[in-house]
Every structure is written in C-alpha cells, then in structure tokens.
C-alpha cells in the first residue's frame, strides 16, 4: 500500500517511515509546505493528514487531490506513532475485507 503523510512533526519522519514499513507500506512524508504538492502526492492508496502541526494550504491541497483521485483520506489531530499505527491497521483491514 502506498501512503502519503501530510503534516506531523519533522523529528518523527524516520519513525513514520519505520512504522509504514511495519505495515508493508511505502510512504511519502511532507511535514513542511512544498511547491507543487499536488504533483508530489501522486496516486497513493491512502492520504493521512496530521491536522495539528500542518499548514492550512497543505490540508486544502491534500483534500482536493483525495477527492479528485478518489483516494482514502484520514485526518488525525495527533501526529503520534500510535495514531499512525491505528490508522494503518484500520486501513489495512478495510483493504482486506
């Protein structure tokens, strides 16, 4: 499963990648605003938005791309490791069942 994570904490990027690998996911992680975010998102299976530490513009772009490409979008106020684990476990369950 391909996952794009928008937001979160810079210091957690390596942790996010490790957690994604535990769930057999390839991850792109954007914690800071980047130009052409629309193009960088691509066509993942899941977009995770950690809403607390993220710019409103990044959220707007991610929601627009998710709607346009019919991508599952999950928002979490908390950008913790446990929050990501719970999101990935639930998403994996939806894909298999």
- Return the percentage of the chain with pLDDT > 70, whole number: 96
Q: How many domains does the chain have?
A: 1
Q: Considering the entire predicted model, what is its pTM?
A: 0.92
Q: Under DSSP, is residue 93 helix (H, G, I), strand (E, B) or coil? A: helix
pLDDT digits (tens, 9 = 90+) for 39-81: 999 999 999 999 887 889 999 999 999 999 999 999 999 999 9
Q: Are 23 and 45 in contact (CB under 8 A)?
A: no
pLDDT for 53 equals 75
Q: Which domain holds residue 56?
A: 2-96
C-alpha dihedral sign at 49, 74, 84, 65: negative
Instruction: Give the DSSP per-residue string, 11-68.
Output: GGHHHHHHHHHHTT-EEEEE-S--TTHHHHH-S-SEEEEE-TTS-HHHHHHHHHHHHH
Domain of residue 59, CATH code = 3.40.50.720
Q: Are 19 and 85 in contact (CB under 8 A)?
A: yes
């Amino acid at each position: 499963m391909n996952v794009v994570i928008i937001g979160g904490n810079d210091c957690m990027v390596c942790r996010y990648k490790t957690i994604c690998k535990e769930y057999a996911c390839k991850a792109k992680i954007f914690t800071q605003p980047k130009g052409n975010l629309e193009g960088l998102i691509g066509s993942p299976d899941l977009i995770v938005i950690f809403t607390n530490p993220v710019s409103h513009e990044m959220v707007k772009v991610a929601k627009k791309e998710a709607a346009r490409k019919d991508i599952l979008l999950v928002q979490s106020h908390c950008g913790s490791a446990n929050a990501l684990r719970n999101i990935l476990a639930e998403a994996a369950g939806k894909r298999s069942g």
